[in-house]
Amino acid sequence: MRQPSKTASPIRLTVLGATGSVGQSTLDLIARTPDDFEIVALTAQCNADELATLAIRHRARVAVIGDDAHYQALKERLAGTGIIAMSGRDSLVAAAQIPVDCVMAAIVGVAGLAPTLAATQQGCRIALANKECLVSAGPMFMRAVRDHGATLLPVDSEHSGVLQALSAHSPDMLDKITITASGGPFRTWNVTRIAAANPEDALKHPNWVMGRKITIDSATLMNKGLELIEAQHLFGVTPDQLDVLVHPQSVIHALVSYKDGSVLAQMASPDMRTPIALALAWPQRMAAPTKPLDLAEIGALTFERPDETKFPALRIAKAAMRMGEGATTALNAANEVAVDAFLAKRLKFPHIAQIAEQTIESLLRGGSLKEPHNLETALALDQEARNQAQDHLAAL
Ligand code: NAD
Ligand code: MG
């Protein structure tokens, strides 16, 4: 894998989900050293105008819009630029298959699974932001990474922290991996107040600016549960070796504890451009415009245990991780349905965790939970879980 440098040829990069929060942060970094990168394909779901603007600015070869309804708008905006416009789900997969050195997988939700899996099959480097891939189909996805010789690098800040704190240590001396959580906007709220929280409250994340889905997941702490499952697959550890610590300042992102008592922590100001830069430049580093960490200005770093009574989504996600056998596929699907419904004001905040738990339970009772072994079985279980989640939602 080539590294960014003035002399090496540029890294060919595709960004899946280019118009999103991670996609934009990625392109912001690239724009600072444009000679080090060559943008091959950019994708988005609905925003044809923004996608075209990005494709023109970064001189992409291909721009793909997932929703066919926006194809005409994209084609018109790109007329005369030489950039190829495509649309539809198959085209997202086709874009991921164009040979490159690195694919930034930054689509949100299980919608990212097929294109990200297709990217692994070309054996390139995958900068993985789309954690739902690993939650929904972790064993199958990791097998594809190994079988095709792809290099999987986490973009999630906590997992990027783990990767750095793990470097150069023998795996059998690893004791525990701890990922931190800011605690979200409701950390200090009581249960009654949380129960009445509306989407506007939940979208006010204290430390990070992110897409809407992950921001709601951060408010429920489901995000931390999804990240435990992500860590289990990325680092090949058992649920017993994984822990969560609430750390409201979001300065320490991960801690790796060794059997000799040593604990290595990774720190950075909360800015996604730091972990993105590491995934793009690994195993080297590239500069990012993140605010330098000034610990004297911050003054104190504090820690709390997560409250799983106030935030049951974390408990439910942990149980699904231990259960395995498709339980995390169901968890992810039900959570996506419930978060959409919460954002549309069709259910109350506590119902998100409730729908996730009811969906896993009903699929378990119906004998439908089975570890997906390929894309088709993963998407079939995802769909079945979505149907169940809709039924539970209707019965609220
Ligand atoms: P976002 O909502 O800001 O952007 C999502 C991107 O995916 C957009 O480009 C959108 O057009 C595209 N997209 C949405 N639905 C799609 C579909 N059905 N098919 C194809 N494309 C679709 O999301 P984000 O915050 O950038 O998060 C992206 C991923 O990165 C998520 O999996 C999230 O959990 C993960 N992540 C994000 C952050 C962050 O700081 N934003 C941090 C860690 C991990
Ligand atoms: Mg994270």
- pLDDT (tens digit per residue) in 191-202: 999 999 999 999
* Sign of torsion over alpha carbons 206, 103, 166, 141: positive
How far is the C-alpha of 13 from the C-alpha of 99, rounded, in Å?
9
The CA–CA distances, whole Å, from 20 to 24, 54, 58, 86, 385 equal 6, 11, 16, 19, 26
Closest ligand to Cα 113:
1
Atom 32 of ligand 1, nearest CA residue: 130
Q: What pLDDT sits at residue 23?
A: 98
Closest ligand to Cα 254:
2
Q: What pLDDT sits at residue 1?
A: 43
Q: Lowest-confidence range among 5-14, 65-74, 197-206, 220-229?
A: 5-14
Q: Is 242 exposed, middle or buried (0-12, 13-18, 19+ CB in 10 A)?
A: buried
Q: Say how many Å lie between the CA of residue 330 and the centre of ligand 1.
A: 20
Verdict on whether the full-model pTM lies above 0.95: yes
pLDDT-based confidence at 24, cuts 50/70/90?
very high
Q: Say how many Å lie between the CA of residue 65 and the centre of ligand 1.
A: 14
Report whether pLDDT(5) > 90: no
Q: What is the Cα 151 distance to its own chain's centre?
A: 17
How far is the C-alpha of 340 from the C-alpha of 190, rounded, in Å?
24
365, two tokens: 């009772």
Q: Which segments of the chain does DSSP mark as H helices, in order?
A: 21-32, 48-57, 71-78, 89-97, 113-120, 132-147, 157-166, 191-195, 199-202, 212-220, 222-235, 273-281, 295-298, 312-323, 327-343, 349-365, 375-394
What are the tens digits of pLDDT across the range 152-196? 999 999 999 999 999 666 788 999 999 999 999 999 999 999 999
Q: Say how many Å lie between the CA of residue 258 and the centre of ligand 1.
A: 34
What are the tens digits of pLDDT across the range 330-354? 999 999 999 999 999 999 999 999 9
Instruction: Determine the CATH number of domain 11-154.
Output: 3.40.50.720
What are the tens digits of pLDDT across the range 258-288? 999 999 999 999 999 999 999 999 999 999 9
Task: Provide the residue ranges of all domains of the chain, joining segments of one domain with +.
Answer: 11-154
332, two tokens: 């992810």
Report whether pLDDT(377) > 80: yes
Contact at 8 Å (CB) between 330 and 376? no
Residues with CB under 6 A from ligand 1: 17-23, 44-45, 66, 92, 106-108, 111, 129-132, 156, 208, 210-214, 272
Q: Say how many Å lie between the CA of residue 227 and the centre of ligand 2.
A: 7
